[in-house]
C-alpha cells in the first residue's frame, strides 16, 4: 500500500546519495522505523551522532529507488544509517532512542503508512550488537511502556543504499507540510520527551 509519504516527486533531485564508511574511531548503526523522514531527524538530534543518511536496507535489489521501494516488491525498508561517536553515545543508548522514536509494536505499519517498507527493523553488524538488541527488547517489553509486545525485526546487516538527495534533511526543510506535522513531528517530539538526557543541547527544553 502506498503511504501518504510516497508522493510523486519527479521535480525533486533524484540523485542517490553516496554512503561513506565510518571514520576512524567512529561507529555506524542501521535502523528502520517507518518513514525515514522522521527517523533521520530523530537520530540526528542525539548527542554523539555526527551524520544520518536516509536510505534503504533489508531488501534484495541493489541500489533501489524510492519508487522501487514503494512498490513493496524489493524487500527493503525505509531506513537510516547513523554515524556516531561511541565515546559520546553507546549503541544501547541509540537503541533506547530508537524504541522511543516510533511504535515498535505494529507489524509492517507506522501510523498511516502500511507495508513491509515501513516495518520496524534493526540490522546488527556483530554478535555483541545482536545481544544488546535482544536485551533492550526484553527491557522494553518488561516495562509495559507499550500495550503490545515489540515486533521489531532483528536481522544481520547486509547492505544499506543511500536514498535520493531530496530525502536528506526532508523533515527540516518541509516542516510546514501536513504529513510532517501530523505523522513525522509527533514521533520526534515523543523521542525528545523520552530521552532528554541523550539530546544535543539545542534540542533540550
User: Can you spell out the DSSP letters for the chain?
Assistant: ---TT----TTS--PBPP-PPPPTT-EEEEEEESSHHHHHHHHHTBTTEEEEEEEEES-SSSS--HHHHHTT-S--EEEEEEEE-TTTS-HHHHHHHHHHSS-TTSTTEETTEESGGG-EEEEESSHHHHHHHHHHHHHHHHHT-SSS----EEEE---EEE-BGGGTTHHHHTTTSHHIIIIIHHHHHHHHHH-GGGB-GGG--
pLDDT score recorded for residue 9: 59
Q: pLDDT tens-digit profile of 105-160?
A: 999 999 999 999 999 999 999 999 999 999 999 999 999 999 999 999 999 999 99
**70 is annotated as an active-site residue:** no
Provide the mean pLDDT of the chain: 94
pLDDT score recorded for residue 200: 97
Tell me the mean pLDDT in the region 172-199.
96
pLDDT score of 84 more than 90: yes
Choose, from 35, 43, 79, 136, the residue flagged as catalytic. 35
Give me the domains of the chain, ranges plus CATH numbers: 27-195 (3.30.1060.10)
Tell me the mean pLDDT in the region 74-101.
98
pLDDT score recorded for residue 10: 57
Amino acid at each position: 500500500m502506498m503511504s501518504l509519504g510516497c508522493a510523486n516527486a519527479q521535480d525533486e533531485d533524484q540523485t542517490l546519495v553516496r554512503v561513506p564508511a565510518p571514520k576512524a574511531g567512529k561507529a555506524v548503526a542501521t535502523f528502520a522505523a517507518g518513514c525515514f523522514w522522521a527517523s533521520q531527524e530523530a537520530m540526528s538530534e542525539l548527542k554523539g551522532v555526527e551524520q544520518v543518511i536516509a536510505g534503504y536496507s533489508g531488501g534484495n535489489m541493489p541500489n533501489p529507488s524510492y519508487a522501487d521501494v514503494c512498490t513493496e516488491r524489493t524487500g527493503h525498508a525505509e531506513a537510516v544509517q547513523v554515524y556516531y561517536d561511541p565515546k559520546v553515545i553507546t549503541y544501547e543508548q541509540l537503541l533506547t532512542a530508537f524504541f522511543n522514536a516510533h511504535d515498535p509494536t505494529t507489524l509492517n505499519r507506522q501510523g498511516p503508512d502500511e507495508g513491509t517498507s515501513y516495518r520496524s527493523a534493526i540490522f546488527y553488524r556483530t554478535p555483541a550488537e545482536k545481544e544488546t538488541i535482544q536485551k533492550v527488547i526484553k527491557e522494553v517489553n518488561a516495562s509495559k511502556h507499550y500495550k503490545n509486545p515489540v515486533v521489531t525485526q532483528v536481522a544481520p546487516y547486509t547492505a544499506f543504499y543511500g536514498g535520493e538527495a531530496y530525502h536528506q534533511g526532508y523533515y527540516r526543510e518541509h516542516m510546514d507540510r501536513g504529513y510532517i506535522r501530523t505523522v513525522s513531528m509527533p514521533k520526534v517530539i515523543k523521542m525528545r520527551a523520552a530521552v532528554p538526557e541523550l539530546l544535543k543541547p539545542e534540542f533540550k527544553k
